[in-house]
Structure 1
């Protein structure tokens, strides 16, 4: 059996949930003062007028009802008369009945997730019918992502090797090999994508969204962003508060935190999610990690990772399942509790000497195809994160010093996630952003959604962002998994639908389960 087919539903669920890559935590960027805009729908300067006034040539694409086009934007907003880039956009027009409310932009997060893929694979067909009836659901692949001037870094075989490097080094030799892999990754990005690499910040992506808003004919931006997409949406509100319409920020980021704090918090989030999985696992007859206590499940999980570190198990192909790929496979299943049965099955098979099912979970996470090629998700993820914030660590020695804090945050994942946070230390482009609070004074009410046991965007981040935003309202989902909208809670969906369709945010401190 091709285990990639077995886990295709899991990969789809992850995409719909707003993928947030571990060890490469999305990070805030700073807004230059000249980027702040007035309340009109006009461009910031005369030099940008040609971009705001452009007419798109829409064509049918993908499934019936979807249209695609190409939109132009400046490579460098400081030099709008210079090099131009082409960004892929898509939409599905409102189906009716009811009053058309304009466009609803969507972004699934990442950074590096394809918004067009999300639109055509989920939002344009899976969002609640009343929302699709009254909105043109639209998407723009952010610069550097998927169809929009995609960042490229490694060949398929090089990426295979990169994903297998030991991320829990036991000595200086192993930590040196890990650092060398990060350096090779960064050098590959610089070699293959030199022009776009310095210009994929979240601030620039938000400015691209404003051009798209104007080209679509909307005076204000309505938007649903998941995971990193919440930071993109919050950045838009900061840059253009008077152009901000109905914004839903689901699985929220905290833009005030530096990269090291973000990574450590996310490490704790994955531990929280794993403990929820462990509590569920011991109640199932097929739990391969024990059936007595969650502590036993954690201990056996950690012990199995150590076993794989010493001796990977075969997978039926040239890539054996070592600790790094196994950890990625387990983390992938933390995004959606519906993947837990598949994870139990995959772990049982791996413990019995067949790592193919757990490898398939890791492959779905990395967006690796059966022919050995990779989407550019991981490349764009690093490029955006390393530009948006200064590196969490600048040397292996700094990681070693921080290990106790990360392992306290997660006994199961802490060591690996601490070392994964070293990736931006060798980035060829200097970070342009800084951690800061986003208030977006003057913006219309913004709904911030937080899930209490979210693995990738801890609930306290949503609490923080809702407090920072001058018009923020917190909507809480007491549950598991990454993000909340469209994941089975009628309470959450009703609150968000009401806001999108009527403009009425949920009452303060509303909680759903």
Structure 2
């Protein structure tokens, strides 16, 4: 659900970069006990039916997967790594298996160990293995003492049978393609790029791209829960990781332990509505940046918020007509410039870099904006890319039907998107076209998640979150029978472990002692 490019993983600590977006939930049917949205009349918002739980008893066909023995091996100095098998297709287990990879940092106080805390940073496409390595030392000491910190790369991601699509040079071209086409030639070029991306994924990934849904990834999490010996799952998910965690709760409500969902996603939204709403989230974040910028001596975009927006639009228009040159030799196109600005919306700590980047761009040098864009895509200095965006597209296109069938549908929707976001709406409408050419039919649909009978689930929303608008957290918390909404009045993508003692204390108290904050608790900036 949502545009196929604006997604990233969210930080638990400053050592990890800010991040991205989400997808909808998937469904299926079959002898292995697949999950599907119900067709009952008790749906909540938007007419979306609730996700139905799987049978409490593990099907016999899955018993071999649940009875594997993990072999943890020392890796990366203070961590342990392992792999295990899961079926490619849960409807037909015992056939083609795939290998998933996980990492853990053992609890430093084994005598008082509470179990495993599974962590996911979002995406879809963010590596949980890298996330745990990058954030573990910044986690509260009490949590490090009491929990094994565990990262499982979801299927199709990182070290877990990763989806592959384009080479580095072709990904460079894809990232740079014009996503605000002005004529038929530019529309044709964008469609060709989307088709090339989809064909590359199909050619290089085969059947895997039809089995990387969020429902399947949640079922993989339950296999790992059993293999580490935990009767219930303890979980910290951010951004798309909230959708993954909420999906797990919907499928296995009786196996929910202490669950925190930060930067939450609303599974009841169709992909078009989600993309348009997210565009509004980035508009809100830009307005917050502009309000801060114009108070500073080094603001390069004017002296009022209105002037800042006008100058940003003028800069994008200028770059669209003539890309800027950069120190790397790669031209800064309008799409790369927009991605650079978007990257800086994820965290206030990036706002000084954006002021500098806009300053140099206005002099004709696109190097700083290009660096921000490369950070967003996690492009390496050697020109290679991780599989973040490949998995991102594969999961999103499988989890929800495409928002648009063709360019004509996008053109019709552009005014609606621009009403939600004057600066980013057009871009996000056209970015959502990619799934129209995806080779695998979507298996999911919008739905609500009730997770009846689950333990308290803490849902965190940030009022000016760019990538996961606050309204999504309110909706998810309202859908969950045991949802507890925890609000951060502030900026940036996600809240826990970043900059607010009130949020951190509430979450740590819950994860360590089980004392969930009262529903509606608010923490100020």
Structure 1 residues 11 and 125, CA gap change in structure 2 (3 angstroms): closer
Determine whether 1:37 maps to 2:54.
Answer: yes
Matched position secondary structure for 1:196: helix
Q: Could you state the TM-score of these two structures normalised by the residue count of structure 2?
A: 0.92
Where in structure 2 are the equivalents of 1:222-371 lying within 5 Å?
222-291=234-303, 293-371=304-382
- What is the deviation of 1:14? 8.4
Correspondent of 1:90 among 103, 123, 126: 103
Where in structure 2 are the equivalents of 1:468-483 lying within 5 Å?
468-483=479-494
Structure 1 residues 312 and 34, CA gap change in structure 2 (3 angstroms): closer
Determine whether 1:493 maps to 2:510.
Answer: no
Aligned to 1:5: none
- CA contact under 8 A between 1:14 and 1:335: conserved in structure 2? no
Correspondent of 1:120 among 133, 144, 151: 133
Aligned to 2:168: 156
Correspondent of 1:142 among 137, 145, 154: 154
Structure 1 residues 341 and 13, CA gap change in structure 2 (3 angstroms): farther
Q: Deviations over 1:132-188 (max 9, x none)?
A: 110101011000001111111001110011111100001122111111110110000
- What is the deviation of 1:435? 0.2
- What is the deviation of 1:476? 0.1
- What is the deviation of 1:349? 1.0
Determine whether 1:416 maps to 2:413.
Answer: no
- What is the deviation of 1:315? 0.5
Question: For structure 1, which segment, 112-121 or 342-351, has the greater mean C-alpha deviation from structure 2 after superposition?
Answer: 342-351
Determine whether 1:50 maps to 2:64.
Answer: yes
Structure 2: distance between partners of 1:13 and 1:350:
30
- What is the deviation of 1:48? 1.0
Aligned to 2:39: none
Structure 2: distance between partners of 1:503 and 1:308:
52
Where in structure 2 are the equivalents of 1:160-171 lying within 5 Å?
160-171=172-183
Determine whether 1:75 maps to 2:72.
Answer: no
Aligned to 2:214: 202
- What is the deviation of 1:30? 3.2
Determine whether 1:104 maps to 2:121.
Answer: no
Aligned to 1:215: 227
- CA contact under 8 A between 1:94 and 1:134: conserved in structure 2? yes
Structure 1: distance between partners of 2:16 and 2:404:
31
- What is the deviation of 1:118? 0.3
- CA contact under 8 A between 1:16 and 1:108: conserved in structure 2? no
- What is the deviation of 1:317? 2.5
Q: Deviations over 1:383-415 (max 9, x none)?
A: 000000000111100110111111111111111
Structure 1 residues 278 and 491, CA gap change in structure 2 (3 angstroms): same
Structure 1: distance between partners of 2:250 and 2:12:
31
- What is the deviation of 1:16? 3.7
Matched position secondary structure for 2:487: strand
Matched position secondary structure for 2:331: coil
Structure 2: distance between partners of 1:160 and 1:116:
25
Q: Could you state the TM-score of these two structures normalised by the residue count of structure 1?
A: 0.94
Structure 1 residues 13 and 372, CA gap change in structure 2 (3 angstroms): farther
- CA contact under 8 A between 1:30 and 1:436: conserved in structure 2? no
- What is the deviation of 1:346? 1.1
Aligned to 1:19: 19
- What is the deviation of 1:351? 1.2
Query: For the aligned residues, what is the CA RMSD?
Result: 1.6
Structure 1: distance between partners of 2:287 and 2:510:
33
Correspondent of 2:439 among 428, 435, 446: 428
Structure 1 residues 280 and 491, CA gap change in structure 2 (3 angstroms): same
Q: What is the aligned residue count?
A: 495
- CA contact under 8 A between 1:246 and 1:445: conserved in structure 2? yes
- What is the deviation of 1:50? 1.2
Structure 2: distance between partners of 1:512 and 1:149:
40
Structure 1 residues 310 and 13, CA gap change in structure 2 (3 angstroms): farther
Q: Deviations over 1:313-354 (max 9, x none)?
A: 111233111100000000000000110001101111111121
Matched position secondary structure for 1:269: helix
